[in-house]
Amino acid sequence: MAFSAFALWAQDWGAERDRMIREQIEARGMREPKVLAALRKVNRHWFVPEAYRKLAYQDHPLSIGHGQTISQPYIVALMTELLEVEKNHRVLEIGTGSGYQAAVLSHVAGEVYSIEVVEDLAKTASKLLQDQGCRNVTVRYGDGYAGWPDRAPFDRIILTAAPPEIPSALLEQLKPGGKLVAPVGRADQELVVVEKDRHGKLSRRPVIPVRFVPMIKKPAA
């Protein structure tokens, strides 16, 4: 049966969002109130291409074009929880993509700076985030491997694409006492948490195996 335009318009997105949180997030043991609250405030379906919008709250990633994806809702929630963001934090995101992760972060952080290597995605996400009221998010087209030195240091850094190893520039831009969450690896990837103590010493722990699109460099001009 075809999914009519009327059915898409009439769809109860609020109920679907609540079901997503209940069945995909809370059922997996996640209970952090501010993360759950942020997920409830963000209209995930607006960050999904229209062709896939009816699938926006299902338990898997979706294509957003340009070889990129919007992550599975559980992974977005998990990474946000692992990041342990506070309202006074300045956060750097590498890989804006659709803008959904940045939108979630906007409700738990003070400032969010997001870099996207695909120019069309950077433009689309920037407009969408503004339209959705995420006024504390700044999106820039650029090379995530270089980070954002003009806005560094950052209390928290999150990567939504997988580098073979965490770029040294990002570790340098992480504030002492800060935390970085990223998928790392090529064929075999794992989600890792890196912490920098007040003396600048780094520690790293693995969380779970994951599968993300590879982190790519911006082509030379």
Per-residue pLDDT, 4: 44
Is residue 32 included in any domain, yes or no? yes
| Number of domains within the chain | 1
Q: 218 or 26: whose pLDDT is higher? A: 26
Per-residue confidence band for 220, with pLDDT thresholds at 50, 70 and 90: low
**pLDDT in the model for residue 114:** 98
Q: Does residue 3 belong to any structural domain of this protein?
A: no
Q: What is the mean pLDDT of residues 146-154?
A: 97
Q: Residue 168's domain spans which residues?
A: 12-210
80: CATH: 3.40.50.150
- pLDDT score recorded for residue 221: 59
Residue 126 annotated among the catalytic residues of the structure: no
Asked if the structure places residue 219 within a domain, the reply is: no
pLDDT bin (cut points 50, 70, 90) of residue 2 is very low
pTM of the entire predicted model: 0.93
Position 8 pLDDT exceeds 90 = no
- Cα(91)–Cα(180) distance, rounded to whole angstroms? 10
Which residue out of 71, 106, 114, 126 is catalytically annotated? 71
Residue 185 domain-assigned (yes or no): yes
Residue 206 lies in a domain: yes
In a domain, 168, yes or no: yes
pLDDT > 70: percent of the chain: 94
81-134 confidence digits (pLDDT tens): 999 999 999 999 999 999 999 999 999 999 999 999 999 999 999 999 999 999
Is the N-terminal amide bond of 33 cis, ω within 30° of 0? no
pLDDT band at 218 (very low <50, low <70, confident <90, very high): confident
Specify if 107 maps to a domain. Answer: yes
The answer as to whether 4 is a domain residue is: no
Report the distance separating Cα 215 and Cα 106, nearest Å.
22
